[in-house]
Amino acid sequence: MTPEPFGARLRHAMDTRGPLCVGIDPHGSLLTAWGLNDDIGGLERFTRTAVEALADRVAVLKPQSAFFERFGSRGIAVLEKAVEEARAAGALVLMDAKRGDIGSTMGAYAATYLDKDSPLFSDAVTLSPYLGFGSLRPALDAAAVSGAGVFVLALTSNPEGAEVQRSTTADGRSLAQLMLDHMAAENAGAEPLGSVGAVVGATLGDAGVNLDINGPLLAPGIGAQGATPADLPGVFGSAVGNVVPSVSRGVLRHGPDVAALRESAARFAQEVRSAVAGI
């Protein structure tokens, strides 16, 4: 049986649960703010609370792998359980790992996150294309087989990114636009939405590129980084209906109170709906 593509599952989740991705970023200062120790016990309590509060109601949960990896194998075990429990509660899990390599190494990353037999199998994973878009082929193929998706870095909100992403290629396009054009080609003909998404910072103002890739657009930067849902139409224009805004600290700072976490996520989702409806 052919699995339902990620793009179709994401479209349904956004339409029914609201267009929002909440990051699970258990860095030390946030654990401390929750009254937890910056150790494996604190990591377990933080992650369990976040999943319990949000996995049955938000469209996407995005654990940042690095914050689990820093605790070694015990941290990875916490991550594995979080992925399993979040998916069981109905959230789509986007693993924020930003992997990028070539050949068999890229294939191993694909097997880690995009093979249904892997304990870290996720609905989607973030990837870096700056070894060449073609280097992502093992992950693109694995995702297609398993019904998963990928989100490829295009225009990130960090200032340093511009020196690479805004550089000009031989044909006059920016490198970011070249990557977006590759994504559009991968998504050609997909309905209702392709499964190859782009990462485009919500803090960029006018992105200055063609974002019509027939795929989802992950927009980090909402909340603590300064962007608001009202900024989305200005950045994404006619593609704003395919935006998955990502907020982490803006929601997580309300923990460990479960009700407060839920209320914050619901408020962000409603603000995004209102901003998109105004187009």
Residues labelled as active-site residues: 98
Average pLDDT over residues 156-176: 93
**73 pLDDT above the threshold of 80:** yes
Q: What is the pLDDT of residues 189-206, one digit of tens each?
A: 999 999 999 999 998 877
The pairs formed by 202-206 with CB atoms below 8 angstroms and a separation of 24 or more are 202/157, 202/227, 202/231, 202/232, 202/235, 202/245, 202/246, 203/157, 203/227, 203/231, 204/155, 204/157, 204/235, 205/234, 205/235, 206/234, 206/235
Q: Domains of the chain: which residue ranges?
A: 6-273
**158 pLDDT above the threshold of 70:** yes
- Higher model confidence: residue 222 or residue 245? 245
Q: Measured between alpha carbons, how far is 127 from 188 in angstroms, rounded to an integer?
A: 20
Say what the pTM is: 0.97
Picking from 54, 118, 39, the residue whose alpha carbon sits closest to that of residue 89 is: 54
Picking from 62, 191, 82, the residue whose alpha carbon sits closest to that of residue 125 is: 62
Q: What is the pLDDT of residues 28-38, one digit of tens each?
A: 999 999 999 99
- What is residue 278's predicted lDDT score, i.e. its pLDDT? 66
**71 pLDDT above the threshold of 90:** yes
**279 pLDDT above the threshold of 60:** no
Task: Find the farthest-apart pair of alpha carbons in the chain and give their distance in angstroms, rounded.
Answer: 54
**251 pLDDT above the threshold of 60:** yes
Mean pLDDT of the chain: 95
CATH of the structural domain 6-273, one choice from 2.60.40.10, 3.20.20.70, 3.40.50.150, 3.40.250.10: 3.20.20.70
Percent of the chain clearing pLDDT 70 (strictly above)? 99
Q: Which residues of 126-154 are buried (b: 16+ CB within 10 A; e: fewer)?
A: bbbbeeebebbebbbebbbebbbbbbbbb
Grade residue 207 by pLDDT with cuts at 50, 70 and 90: confident
Q: What is the pLDDT of residues 92-143, one digit of tens each?
A: 999 999 999 999 999 999 999 999 999 999 999 999 999 999 999 999 999 9
